[in-house]
């Protein structure tokens, strides 16, 4: 793995990690919340060994990624994440990469495919049920309980925690979303450095508040939001991987989604794995992605 490289898009200076720059195929792996591009390290090494050029960008508000203009709204809305990913792909001239995303990254990759059909050769979504961006979605009481942090961040006290106590706040997610003592302290410290970005708190708060209709969106994404609401059917071959012990997004949230995917669809539940499959079971994740891509004609 090299140090972070940078590429400019219309709005951002996007920092990214890269493996195997001369690979014959490309894969873009997008991290979630609260996490960082390094979450993909082991999976990226495996894909690179299989011949992929692998790129792991830092989302807006994370790590060394920066907004180019101080006047740009620090929006965290999900349509913006999808558009950022398309801008990243365009800036690097990538041709139909494999897109894989975890949590926020899963929403970004799916939205990119919704905004531009044909942009990806394959899509892998981790720990997220597709079509759950709608603020009017039906939620079980158990899932509403799991989303306590969403509701907390809609309050002034939650905003104070995100701005002033971000490491303790995010460590709570790591400690409760997966079973057992699954991570080493240095792994969390590595991820948490990405939260030192000066725009992290504003992007995070806006993302969760906008998702439930508690904050206005950036008018620049009105057209994209219209395309993505309701969730469009995707034509890209898609693999869904969900931890069977995920205590953030219940595995049931990704069930029964087959009708959204017309280009080939597979869903696998990883027994005993929590919300961070690429960290908790990286070899199983890499095996599943490579096998799916081979089947789908990578």
| pLDDT computed for residue 298 by the predictor | 52
The predicted-structure confidence for 234-282, as pLDDT tens digits, reads as follows 999 999 999 999 999 999 999 999 999 999 999 999 999 999 999 999 9
Q: Is the pLDDT of residue 179 over 70?
A: yes
Give, in words, the CATH class of 5-297.
alpha beta
Residue whose entry in the numeric block shows the structure tokens 């790129």:
55
Q: Are 14 and 61 in contact (CB under 8 A)?
A: no
Q: Are 273 and 281 in contact (CB under 8 A)?
A: yes
The model's confidence at residue 1, banded by pLDDT at 50, 70 and 90, is very low
Across-strand partners of 94?
A: none
% of the chain exceeding 70 in pLDDT: 99
Q: Is the pLDDT of residue 105 over 60?
A: yes
Prediction pTM value: 0.97
- Give residue limits of the domains in the chain: 5-297
Q: Strand, helix or coil at 141? A: helix
* Alpha carbon distances (Å) from 188 to 101, 168, 181, 217: 19, 11, 12, 31
Of 20, 10, 16, the residue nearest 29 (C-alpha): 16
The predicted-structure confidence for 191-239, as pLDDT tens digits, reads as follows 999 999 999 999 999 999 999 999 999 999 999 999 999 999 999 999 9
* Alpha carbon distances (Å) from 94 to 55, 144, 291: 10, 39, 22
The Cβ of residue 143 has, within 10 Å, a number of other Cβ atoms equal to 17
């Amino acid at each position: 793995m090299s140090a972070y490289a940078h590429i400019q898009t219309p709005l951002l200076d996007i920092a990214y990690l890269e493996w195997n720059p001369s690979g014959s195929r490309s894969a873009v792996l997008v991290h979630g919340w609260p996490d960082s591009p390094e979450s993909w390290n082991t999976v990226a090494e495996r894909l690179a060994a299989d011949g992929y050029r692998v790129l792991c960008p830092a989302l807006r508000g994370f790590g060394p990624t920066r907004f180019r203009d101080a006047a740009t709204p620090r929006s965290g809305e999900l349509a913006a994440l999808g558009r950022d990913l398309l801008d990243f792909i365009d800036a690097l001239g990538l041709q139909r990469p494999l897109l894989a995303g975890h949590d926020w990254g899963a929403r970004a990759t799916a939205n990119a495919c919704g905004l531009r059909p044909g942009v990806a050769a394959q899509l892998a979504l981790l720990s997220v049920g597709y079509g759950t961006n709608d603020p009017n979605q039906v939620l079980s009481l158990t899932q509403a309980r799991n989303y306590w942090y969403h509701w907390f961040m809609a309050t002034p006290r939650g905003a104070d925690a995100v701005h002033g106590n971000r490491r303790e706040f995010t460590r709570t997610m790591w400690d409760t979303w997966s079973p057992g003592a699954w991570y080493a302290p240095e792994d969390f410290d590595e991820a948490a450095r990405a939260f030192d970005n000066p725009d992290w708190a504003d992007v995070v708060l806006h993302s969760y508040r906008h998702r439930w209709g508690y904050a206005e969106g950036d008018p620049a994404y009105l057209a994209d939001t219209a395309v993505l609401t309701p969730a469009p059917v995707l034509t890209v071959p898609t693999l869904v991987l969900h931890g069977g012990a995920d205590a953030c997004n219940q595995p049931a949230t990704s069930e029964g989604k087959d009708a959204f995917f017309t280009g080939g669809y597979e869903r696998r539940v990883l027994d005993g794995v929590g919300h961070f499959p690429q960290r908790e079971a990286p070899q199983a994740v890499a095996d599943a992605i490579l096998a799916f891509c081979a089947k789908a004609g990578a």
